[in-house]
Structure 1
């Protein structure tokens, strides 16, 4: 199972959109992340850039480990 994550360690939630400024996930999605299947995580990650764009939030780029 993949441990890939969209987290870039900028963990701040936008009060208007309820999305994390760093990764674009909601708090419930972040909380469930470890229990999601690899397919669920990949599907969510595939839509994060569009979600951030639609919310008017600038994507900050992925952290490289």
Structure 2
């Protein structure tokens, strides 16, 4: 992380409960990702956020509307 870049913020939404796969139902991080977050650099944090987004889409928590150009 360079000196001018701020740390990527945690995706925690204070809904801390693990599902049957040990994924947090609030932020979609694994236990390992949650415990390592404070030691991750921004690049790794961004990668984890991408994984969280994919997990949320896969589980149906979020869904994507097609863009206007797709219709």
Q: Superposed, which structure 2 residues align to 1:35-50 within 5 Å? A: 35-50=39-54
| Gaps in structure 1 of 5+ consecutive residues | 60-65
Matched, 1:27 2:35: no
Structure with greater contact order relative to length (CA < 8 Å, sep ≥ 6)? 1
Structure number with greater Rg is: 2
The number of residue pairs the alignment matches comes to: 57
Gap runs ≥5 in structure 2: 1-5, 63-71
TM-score by length of 1: 0.74
Alpha-carbon RMSD: 1.6
Report the TM-score when normalising by structure 2. Answer: 0.69
Query: Structure 2 vs 1, CA of residues 3 and 50 (structure 1 numbering), >3 Å: closer, same or farther?
Result: closer
Q: How far has the Cα of 1:52 moved from its partner? A: 2.3
